A and B are shown apart, each in its own frame.
Chain A
Amino acid sequence: MIPELGHIILITHLILCLIGGTMPLLAEYTGLKIFQIPIKKLSVFLFLLISISFLSLVYSFLVDDFSVAYVAQNSNINLPDYYKFAATWGAHEGSLVLWILAMNAWIVGFLFFTHAKDRDFLASVFSISCQVMFAFSLFTLFTSNPFERILPIPPLNGADLNPSLQDFAFTVHPPLLYFGYSGLLIPFAIAVSAMLFSKETKEWAAYSRPWTLFSCSFLTLGIGLGSWWAYYELGWGGWWFWDPVENAAFVPWLLSVALFHSLITSQNRGIFGKWSILLSIFAFATSLLGTFLVRSGILTSVHAFALDPERGLFILGILAFFIIGSLMIYSIKDFEHGEDKAYALTSKEFGFLLNNLLLVVLAVSILFGTIFPLIYEAVTNGKQISVGAPYFEIILFPFAIGLGLLQGVALYLSWEKSTSFDFVSRLLIESTSIFALIVLVLFVLFDNLYLNSFATIFLASWIAVGTLQVSKKRNLGYWDFLRKRLSVTLAHLGMAILVLGVGVVSSYSLEKEIILAPDDSIKFGDQVVKFESIEDSLGPNYFSKKAVISFDDGKDVSNLITEKRTYSPSGQLTTEAGIETEIFKDLYISMGDNLEDDIWSFKIQIKPFIRWIWLGALLISLGSFLAGIKQIRRLV
């Protein structure tokens, strides 16, 4: 009964989305009152519907209703309750429902936190959002219905949730990403409405800014969590693989960052109007493209969960419809596109222009590398290639340098023209001193210097000094600082910390694959690594071999536990890494193969500063979230 209820409610949601997607626009163009609908109420009602539909799916998981095909494929009687709950979005069908729920939540948020002076404009944004939700609901119902039953004979037990997904970070990572992706719907709907209504650039940019910031905040957190999860759960200590699906999230992230910076200019100066509109469209497009890449399984990826060309085509259809549609409006409609104002090369405007140029070209290059295998296959008639991680690293490096250098000076610039450049010498001196200090600390900590990390370490110091100096220079009181500069300081400082983490971890890491029998030990860096013991152990839905390994650096001894688990329903193996976290480094061990008796192979690693990457991401996310709230408070 409950799954049918969820199904019917999802259909109701679909129909109401169609009404919400057409009525307000009809009302606008015909001027007839009968088409006017209460959009706020409808948005809340839609949200309730999609929530009930989602909850009925959750319910089916919690009560082990294996007659529902999706539950049977992704759950199991022995799965702990928390994971049964999280399994709701463990695969394609449930993810889509959550995705629609996220879009709906953003729309409700937008309608309630944007002042209703211009009701027609709000109605149009609502209408376009409803059209997108309609397309997604249609997609869900026709190609990926989560409520489909296996009748007449349902299986007695489910196939289980993929073991590597049975983990806390994983359960939070997809929802955050979905909220991030789907948040880009709001700037898109605003951009299209701005064209339709020929809205003044300054005004619509102000509406769009907070939602772009929120979206960016969620994307940052989602990507960061995914990276953290890959680090400890996949068992090999990597934190970024340049996998197509990671890129599919990274590209919209880059564009959302570009967009909110461009929107600052549009809102304050009334320029970059057309550019901001195009960026809004393409940021949304890449978030859909991301879905397409993940769902169609056309690229070799660790995430490809559904190899179904029909789904891929459907999403491509949705993408084409909305992108071509909005670009047609862009080219046909003569909309207001802001002012023409002069600005010098030393102005803030030009800084934002460079920022956008670098971010967008970087995004395009990464996107190109990601889909190049598809292009190549099409052109050469089926020859298959992959583009390796070095491609992306070579591309990223110069852009990162450019963006970092710009970020260090960006906050000093003034609108129209900067007049004073005294800051340059101070910035240079201070960031060089910080750089020297960091290198010294690294030398003391790890007894080594790596020249190839110098560029990134300097960049990190440059960004940090640039950020903190401006905040100091403005002579703000404590309270004013919190109110005016906190968000940007947090976000830019987060970037400095992230850059530092990336620079240090990529040069100072040590790793080695070894073979040990119990009581054997081996020297590794300044550590003596010893295989203490091994035992069998039993979990709720797996059994495992648990090895205790000690790391002794002469002062402290840490005992790390690593496991090789075999999950019972699927027989799938997973490795649980043993990690000891310190401020400046992680000790990391993962169990490899059993050679004979109790002799095992292990991979041991020392990962300096790796936590700083995620700390940086967390600060960026927090900073952009606070900035979003600040913008909303200005609007209400």
Chain B
Amino acid sequence: MNPIRKQRLYALIAILLGSLLATWLVVSALSENMNLFYSPTEMKEANINQDVLIRAGGMVKPGSIIKSKESLNVSFIVTDYQNELVINYQGILPDLFAENAGVVVRGNLGSDGNFNAIEVLAKHDENYMPPEVAKLIDNKK
């Protein structure tokens, strides 16, 4: 083979191998780390596997925040103005977490129908609403 063809072949093999490896990586990593989003209403309707990490969200219902005085346990209710979902969380809540603020939580659905969150997100602009939550509210209007 002439040297230029040979080097083209090398390059081609390298590119093929690289893209194959990348595709395999992307597909396997994605299937494990894709978190579906459910509104409280969808949560009621869907049949959700309790072992799978999912996300939920809505507006924090006023008066629903219950904080423990001895531990970092907290529970609150998110609503999409049709259905409600109780969220349990252990940890420090973000500064922008407040009544009537939009939040997105990540975690598992418990067997009691409550949501056990491992992460609570409230974004750092007070006018900002996570797109998922904004969409929920738009749909209900």
- A contact residues around B123 at 8 Å (CB): 301-302, 304
Instruction: Say yes or no: B72 contacts A342, CB within 8 Å.
Output: no
Interface string of A228-243 (1 = CB under 8 A from B): 0000001100000000
CB of B95 closer than 8 Å to a CB of A: yes
- B contact residues around A387 at 8 Å (CB): 30, 33-35
CB of B137 closer than 8 Å to a CB of A: no
- A contact residues around B95 at 8 Å (CB): 235, 572-575
User: B32 to nearest A CB, angstroms?
Assistant: 7
Known interface pairs A300-B131, A342-B3; A388-B14 also in contact (CB < 8 Å): no
Q: Choose among A298, A342, A593 the residue that contacts B4 (Cβ–Cβ < 8 A).
A: A342
Instruction: Find residues 209-243 in chain A having any chain B CB closer than 8 Å to their own CB.
Output: 234-235
Instruction: Say yes or no: B92 contacts A394, CB within 8 Å.
Output: no
Instruction: Say yes or no: A593 contacts B93, CB within 8 Å.
Output: yes
Q: How far, in angstroms, from A300 to B4 measured CA to CA in the complex?
A: 48
How many contacts between A and B, using CB within 8 angstroms?
130
CB of B69 closer than 8 Å to a CB of A: yes
Q: Choose among A162, A361, A391 the residue that contacts B18 (Cβ–Cβ < 8 A).
A: A361
Q: How far, in angstroms, from A386 to B107 measured CA to CA in the complex?
A: 13
The residue in chain B whose Cβ has the minimal distance to the Cβ of A398 is B25
Instruction: Say yes or no: A298 contacts B69, CB within 8 Å.
Output: no
- B contact residues around A592 at 8 Å (CB): 72, 92-93
Instruction: Say yes or no: A384 contacts B132, CB within 8 Å.
Output: yes
Q: How far, in angstroms, from A362 to B25 measured CA to CA in the complex?
A: 11
Instruction: Say yes or no: A162 contacts B26, CB within 8 Å.
Output: no
- A contact residues around B70 at 8 Å (CB): 515
User: A262 to nearest B CB, angstroms?
Assistant: 13
Known interface pairs A394-B33, A574-B95, A603-B92; A302-B132 also in contact (CB < 8 Å): no
Instruction: Say yes or no: B131 contacts A340, CB within 8 Å.
Output: no
Name, among B91, B92, B95, B126, the residue most crowded by chain A CB atoms within 10 Å (CB to CB): B95
Instruction: Say yes or no: A357 contacts B18, CB within 8 Å.
Output: yes
Instruction: Say yes or no: A304 contacts B33, CB within 8 Å.
Output: no
CB of A313 closer than 8 Å to a CB of B: no
Report how many residues on chain A are interfacial, defined by Cβ distance under 8 Å: 58
Q: How far, in angstroms, from A596 to B106 measured CA to CA in the complex?
A: 28
- A contact residues around B3 at 8 Å (CB): 342
- B contact residues around A391 at 8 Å (CB): 29-30, 32-34
CB of B49 closer than 8 Å to a CB of A: no
The residue in chain A whose Cβ has the minimal distance to the Cβ of B25 is A395
Q: How far, in angstroms, from A451 to B6 measured CA to CA in the complex?
A: 41
Instruction: Say yes or no: B104 contacts A353, CB within 8 Å.
Output: no
- A contact residues around B25 at 8 Å (CB): 365, 394-395, 398
User: A199 to nearest B CB, angstroms?
Assistant: 23
Q: How far, in angstroms, from A385 to B93 measured CA to CA in the complex?
A: 23
- A contact residues around B135 at 8 Å (CB): 384
CB of B66 closer than 8 Å to a CB of A: no
- A contact residues around B53 at 8 Å (CB): 388
The residue in chain B whose Cβ has the minimal distance to the Cβ of A384 is B37
Instruction: Say yes or no: B36 contacts A383, CB within 8 Å.
Output: yes
Name, among A307, A361, A390, A575, the residue most crowded by chain B CB atoms within 10 Å (CB to CB): A361
CB of B67 closer than 8 Å to a CB of A: yes
Q: How far, in angstroms, from A394 to B131 measured CA to CA in the complex?
A: 26
Q: Choose among B19, B32, B126 the residue that contacts A390 (Cβ–Cβ < 8 A).
A: B32
Instruction: Say yes or no: B33 contacts A513, CB within 8 Å.
Output: no
- B contact residues around A342 at 8 Å (CB): 3-4, 6-7
Instruction: Find residues 1-58 in chain B having any chain A CB closer than 8 Å to their own CB.
Output: 3-4, 6-7, 10-11, 14-15, 18-19, 21-22, 25-26, 28-30, 32-37, 53, 55
Instruction: Say yes or no: A307 contacts B134, CB within 8 Å.
Output: yes
The residue in chain A whose Cβ has the minimal distance to the Cβ of B123 is A302
Instruction: Say yes or no: B22 contacts A361, CB within 8 Å.
Output: yes
- B contact residues around A343 at 8 Å (CB): 7
User: B42 to nearest A CB, angstroms?
Assistant: 9
- A contact residues around B110 at 8 Å (CB): none
Interface string of A136-180 (1 = CB under 8 A from B): 000000000000000000000000001010000000000000000
- A contact residues around B29 at 8 Å (CB): 369, 390-391, 394-395
CB of A350 closer than 8 Å to a CB of B: yes
Q: Choose among A162, A376, A575 the residue that contacts B125 (Cβ–Cβ < 8 A).
A: A162
15 pairs from A and B in contact (CB 8 Å cutoff): A305-B125, A307-B129, A342-B7, A344-B7, A369-B30, A386-B37, A387-B30, A387-B34, A388-B35, A391-B33, A395-B25, A398-B21, A593-B67, A596-B69, A601-B92
Which residues of chain B have a CB within 8 Å of any CB of chain A?
3-4, 6-7, 10-11, 14-15, 18-19, 21-22, 25-26, 28-30, 32-37, 53, 55, 67-72, 91-93, 95-96, 104, 106, 121, 123-126, 128-132, 134-135
Given contacts A391-B33, A395-B29, A572-B126, 15 further A-B contacts (CB under 8 A): A305-B125, A342-B6, A357-B14, A365-B22, A365-B25, A372-B34, A383-B36, A384-B36, A385-B36, A388-B35, A390-B33, A391-B30, A572-B96, A595-B68, A601-B92
